[in-house]
Structure 1
Amino acid sequence: MKEKENWLEVEKNSCLTEEAESLRSVQSCVYDKSGKKILLSASTRSLPIVVRFVNQVFRTKRVPFKFVIEHRKKKAVPASSLAKYFDLLRMMTSLYSRRFYYAPALALFFDCFADHDICHCTLKDPNRPAFNGGLEAAVFNDFVKMLREEGIRVNVTKKMNDWQNAIDENAKRLTRYVDALFERHARLMVVRVDLLYKIACLDEKQIEASKQTMVREDRDDLWFLYGDKEIKFDALETQARFDVKELIEDRKHLFENMRSKPSLFEHMVGYVWRIEWSRIGGYHLHVAFFFDGSKVKKDAWLGDQIGQYWVDVITTGRGIYHNCNRFKAQYGDLWGIGEVNYHDTEKRAKLMRALGYLAKRSQYVYVKPSVKCNLFSTGHMPAQKPAVGRPRKKGREVSA
């Protein structure tokens, strides 16, 4: 496999912002007793800043600050664009959590921060005297130097290449899979359902208590990063309090049972799933089901039927579901759910963009219950359609 050579290139702000929002939509999502989705506050907005910072550290050799003498006094002045991250460093550490796994470059950033004197700086003024008698700007320069030296020592470039290649393989596999489905079917009906557990649904008082819990956890994580190693930590502490093995077994049960439920799954031609984790709700399952669009029409009805099957049969009353097709308006013009036609390139692009987040959700930050637990997969690749019959006519395939 050819290694990616451009992972250190600075990514577009919009892509990183979307990644941060996508992370927030999962990590801070809870459901109330009626099944309504609620987003709590979460410290993900600093993700784009951290990524851009580590990219610049490893792709350049410049120092953040240089020093001049003014009025017989040493003064720090910016020497490169890295200097602007001095004031942002405290904000960048808000992304840290002991619950998360990070891409190698981000993990190295947090490891070095915890071991470096930079964690003792105020980071409010580069010309402020540091505890060691120099300027805080000099400590920041040394922190960047340490990052680069450690990056060379652990070969962070290769690690990032390997990490990114694995994510790219998920994305390529997804693209091949969906394209193969479209080659066999002129129209696909895409039904997106989130499958959860009632124990993870909260009443109003629990939601307010959860907000306070998240604030306390964020504070404890920061204290731990800044040197207080005595703070206790329970990586499995969530409101839901159930083992991910329960979700894995229910997922297997769902897909194995499809053959015995032809009234619902007879015209299903594929699926994509991902296990997600939220800080309060615990583990849950996101699934996109693909049906033959020439055989089924009522996508929202199908979503409700699948969700109710999850509740009544698979989880025997323990489950709950969120039918995304029932709430299309909240996605605006950004997501291709419902009927998607072979020739509708615009809607297919929106579909792939949305599904791509399931494949690439762990690009920078993720939670994995165990080393051997798969978080993402698709159905079996469909057999190639025989090249017979008349070619598809575009005008008849594109929906109004």
Structure 2
Amino acid sequence: MGKEFGTIEARNGLHLDEQIDASSLGQESSMRGWELGEYQELYNDLVEFMGSVLSNPHIPYEIRHRCGVKYAVASRPTLTRHLRRCHAFMDLHWPSRYFSADLKLFFECYRAAPIWRSTGDAACNHPNTVYPDGTILAERFNAFVAYMREQARARCVAKKLSDWRRGLDHQEASIGEYLDNLHFDQPDIIAMRADFSFVKTVAVESDAIPRMSWQTDEEGRWTQVPSKEPSSGAGWETSARIDPTLALQFRESFFDNQNGVDRELFEHLVGYISKVEQGAEHGAYHVHILLLLDAKRVKAKTFDRIRGIAADRWRRLTNGLGNVFDCHHPVYEAKLRREGRWSLDPVLDSDPARFERLRTYIIRYFAKDDGQMVRVKPFAKSKMLTKGRNG
């Protein structure tokens, strides 16, 4: 989310992501919600851990003996530094969500062979912790990593991840074919691009998500319980930033009811592309949209008005929780032009050079691999990338 250029401002002049009073969060509520940055930090650690588990055969700890006493020596920091968080990783497991093969592998292996049974048990996380059977925690962790690798081979996880990453190649081809067909029918195109996101924190429970942990009951069944993780005071993170279901619902709402109050936004629309991604740095779900408009009918003033309507629509349908980065803000556009990176000039009379520049830009923008691929979806076939035609 850019801060300098194109951020839509509210009527009071403050950026929307600055208007939520995080200091009051939780003061009148007992809910332990996901606090700002918690989800992403845990998510990034799990992705890193599984990457290390699956990319090499190394054992996390070397087990040594001194005077008949076992002790552990860390041999692979990329594995061992995640030991203390293994049980907390289960907080990321939401029932009914679809997970990438690496995350699914962890959740299912941990449920089958947990290192700890509850968050309280996980507080004793020194690798030399001794158990009644004579093992130390480091040995149990080594065994758990070995078990995941065994299961990864049995489940063909490497191939599944490879197929998942190759999905970008399919998207690239699909977008290229879509643009070629659209341009064949519509030789005059002007593209309007915007990045939709969400404010960082919220002040009411209904806009946040409870953080839940997992533990086993007396019969060994896994159940969810409210998290007892101490509060950092950072404030509840906006639910749509960490829940892909909500991000997708807001995206669909933007393109629904095109004959309503914002009909001017869609009046000259000939096509659109949109994609939900997860930020590589901040981890928040956000939506990229590209509206393809009839360049013969949409002149400068109309184009500027459409930009404003799109921003207002996003803020309204998100009940004020939406941010917009306007990629056509004059200062931002001028910066890209100076750098030779501006590619959104109108394509008139099937100008082949301009169309190819626009086509290349759109494909690169929507089919890029920069750590924003989504690993958690509502369903296996939930579409992060969508395209549409009007008329």
TM-score (norm 2): 0.59
Q: Per-residue displacement from partner, 1:92-128 (whole Å, max 9, x unpaired)? A: 6176141643201111112212332412554642222
CA distance in 1, matches of 2:268, 2:85: 53
CA distance in 2, matches of 1:378, 1:359: 21
Aligned to 2:213: 221
Aligned to 1:65: 61
Q: Per-residue displacement from partner, 1:330-370 (whole Å, max 9, x unpaired)? A: 9997997964886699998876565347999653223x2x5
Alpha carbons 2:64, 2:73 under 8 Å: kept:
yes
Aligned to 2:113: 116
Q: RMSD of the TM alignment (CA)? A: 5.6
Aligned to 1:210: 205
> Any stretches of 5+ residues in structure 1 without a counterpart?
1-20, 22-30, 233-237, 278-282, 382-400
Q: Per-residue displacement from partner, 1:70-106 (whole Å, max 9, x unpaired)? A: 3443222234455433445348617614164320111
Instruction: Give the AA of the match of 1:103.
Output: S
Instruction: Give the AA of the match of 2:213.
Output: D
Q: CA deviation at 1:137?
A: 0.8
Which of 351, 361, 366 does residue 355 from structure 1 map onto? Answer: 366
> Any stretches of 5+ residues in structure 2 without a counterpart?
2-8, 21-34, 227-238, 279-284, 348-352
Q: CA deviation at 1:130?
A: 3.6
* Bigger RCO (CA 8 Å, 6+ sep): 2
CA distance in 1, matches of 2:143, 2:360: 45
Q: Per-residue displacement from partner, 1:283-331 (whole Å, max 9, x unpaired)? A: 997632123567533544212234567899xx8x999975532895799
Is 1:302 the equivalent of 2:302? no
Aligned to 2:104: 107
Alpha carbons 1:101, 1:365 under 8 Å: kept:
yes
Alpha carbons 2:84, 2:122 under 8 Å: kept:
no
Is 1:127 the equivalent of 2:131? no
1:88-103 → structure 2 map (5 Å cutoff): 89-90=85-86, 93=89, 96-98=92-94, 100-103=97-100
Alpha carbons 2:214, 2:223 under 8 Å: kept:
no
Larger mean Cα displacement after TM superposition, 353-362 or 151-160? 353-362
Is 1:76 the equivalent of 2:72? yes
1:91-240 → structure 2 map (5 Å cutoff): 93=89, 96-98=92-94, 100-119=97-116, 120-122=121-123, 124-130=125-131, 132-174=133-175, 176-177=177-178, 188-192=190-194, 194=196, 207-210=202-205, 214=209, 217-218=210-211, 220-223=212-215, 229=223, 231=225
TM-score (norm 1): 0.58
Q: Per-residue displacement from partner, 1:362-381 (whole Å, max 9, x unpaired)? A: 53223x2x566544311359
- What SS class does the counterpart of residue 142 from structure 2 fall into? helix
Alpha carbons 1:267, 1:291 under 8 Å: kept:
yes
Q: CA deviation at 1:213?
A: 5.3
- What SS class does the counterpart of residue 46 from structure 1 fall into? helix
Change (3 A) 1:352 1:33: farther
Indicate the percent of aligned positions where both proteins have the same amino acid: 17
Aligned to 1:288: 290
Alpha carbons 1:86, 1:126 under 8 Å: kept:
no
- What SS class does the counterpart of residue 40 from structure 2 fall into? coil
CA distance in 2, matches of 1:37, 1:167: 31
CA distance in 2, matches of 1:137, 1:86: 12
Change (3 A) 1:302 1:359: farther
CA distance in 2, matches of 1:223, 1:195: 34
- What SS class does the counterpart of residue 203 from structure 2 fall into? helix
- What SS class does the counterpart of residue 147 from structure 1 fall into? helix
CA distance in 2, matches of 1:246, 1:273: 12
Instruction: Give the AA of the match of 1:36.
Output: L
- What SS class does the counterpart of residue 106 from structure 1 fall into? helix
Query: Which protein has the bigger helix share?
Result: 1
Alpha carbons 2:52, 2:78 under 8 Å: kept:
yes
Q: How many residues align?
A: 327
Aligned to 1:85: 81
Q: CA deviation at 1:46?
A: 3.2
CA distance in 1, matches of 2:63, 2:373: 40
